[in-house]
Structure 1
Amino acid sequence: MTSLTEFPPDALNVLMRAIEEGEIVVPRVGLINSNNGFRLVSAQNPYDDVGTSKVSMGIFDRLCKLKMTYQSKEEEEQIVKLRTDCKDEKLVEQAVEITRRTRNHPEIKQGASVRGAMHFVEIFQQLTDLEKENIQDFEIYLSLALDAAYMALGSKIWLVETSQKTPEQVIKQIVLEVLRIISPSEETRIRPYRMSEPSSEFLEESRKFFRSSNQ
């Protein structure tokens, strides 16, 4: 089962007999018995506001919980390369790092999965196709990276209830840190509802880093 919380309660109640007794009654077919070793395996995403239902304690009492964590950085990079067919290792590494930082940011309650990195790479590649030769310009590269991050991650992160920032502000902060335009310590100087713009020193160092990494 793809997502346990997306099934209506009546459908889940039908499964209780299959879980408990290893059999189920199908209309016009009759009784169907399971084979030895039958297991019901399902995933459960966090409860959303729409489209999910609460699972009864009767169902939970018959299930065992296996908590899954995110893949390692190396595994996520391989997934992104496989799903996007991207040959630019630097872009893949940046996309994965930006996405992973959404999972431990103090302003974010729930970060993005590896899908965020996949969508970042796909969007960035399509945006660069429009710029072509201008992509070697640092300011254009940064602008495209921010646009791709806003579109790829904006709908995939949940901010904490007490946050005074927008998702775009938090995403911008993460992108600037990953691209080495600002340091993480500058986070303390960010005022509510405003993003800290990179200093001229950091911007010049970033241009040098960008040019050297593309030689």
Structure 2
Amino acid sequence: SHLIGSFNPATTIQKGFSFEAFNPGPLIKAMLNGGLFLANEINRATEYTQNSLLEPLEERTLSIPHIGRVKSSPGFFFIGAMNPSELVGTHRLGEALKDRFNVWIELDYPDKKTEMKIIEHNNPYYKVEESILEKIYLIINRTRTHHQVQTPASLRSGIALARLTGVAQKRNKKADSNKILRNLASNVLFGAIQAKPGVKAKDVIVNIISQVLGSA
């Protein structure tokens, strides 16, 4: 109902099940305005939600009970973004829905320069030095190449680590930046990565941090 919309109870009592009493959801708004609709993490959607997308993607219309069929305006465009299917919480996309996406683009991690800019952009209040920012990138990137890591850290982990480091440096300007980064990275990575079976995540994290910052 959030995606499509729902009837306002008070207005419905006064005017019945009319479009005037209907509060359109984001999908209906995008269709009516001929806008862009982004379904982020679409493979976390339930089967019911996935099925509700079949008509808009195929017919560019959507049937609403008591109102009828809503037609999309020219320019309506639907984009779906999804996580790797092996991640916890994802659902398999139905073949009918997959068939309605005309173009598929596989995205990898951004390059070093771009990722550092993204981390910096998302940390406007507590700036960190370029050298620290590079170490943060190297720590996060090392989780993606380490042979004992099954699920690596995402870009969000780099953003979180930069923010926490900036806060810690502001509170204690005389503290050693490597020591701050070492302690914070341990905490951030512990909840961000998944080690391979039979391997302790804590040991992997210590190894990764040591590779970038050296031994404690």
For this structure pair, what is the TM-score category when the shorter chain's length is used for normalisation?
A: 0.7 to 0.9
Identity among equivalent pairs (%): 22
Residue 59 of structure 1 and its aligned partner are, at CA, apart by: 1.2
Deviation per CA, 1:128-177: give whole Å up to 9, x if none.
345442x14xxxx444222211222222222223xx33222212211111
Higher helix content, 1 or 2: 1
> Which aligned runs of 4 or more in structure 1 are off by greater than 6 angstroms?
none
| Structure 2 residue 149 is matched with structure 1 residue 149 | no
Give the whole-Å Cα distance in 2 for the aligned partners of 1:119 and 1:32.
42
1:94 alignment counterpart: 135
The yes-or-no answer on 1:81 pairing with 2:120 is: yes
More strand by share: 2
3-state SS, counterpart of residue 97 of structure 1:
helix
Secondary structure of 1:40 counterpart: strand
Provide structure 2 residue ranges, at least 5 long, that are not aligned to the other structure.
1-38
Q: Which residue of 2 aligns with 1:31?
A: 69
Counterparts in 2 of 1:49 and 1:72: CA distance versus 1, 3 Å = closer
Q: CA RMSD in A?
A: 2.1
Write the distance in 2 (CA, Å) between the matches of 1:90 and 1:107.
27
Distance in structure 1 (CA, Å) of the matches to 2:69 and 2:76:
16
Equivalents in 2 of 1:60, 1:28: separation in Å? 29
| TM-score between both structures, scaled by the size of structure 2 | 0.72
Deviates more, 1:119-128 or 1:4-13: 119-128
Equivalent AA in structure 1 for residue 156 of structure 2: R
Quote the Cα distance in structure 2 between the aligned partners of 1:90 and 1:142: 11
Normalised to the residue count of structure 1, the TM-score between the two structures is 0.72
- CA offset digits 1:18-69 (Å, max 9, x no partner): 111121112343211223454321111134434x332211211222321011
What is the alpha-carbon distance in structure 1 between the residues aligned to residue 64 and residue 183 of structure 2? 51
Matched, 1:67 2:134: no
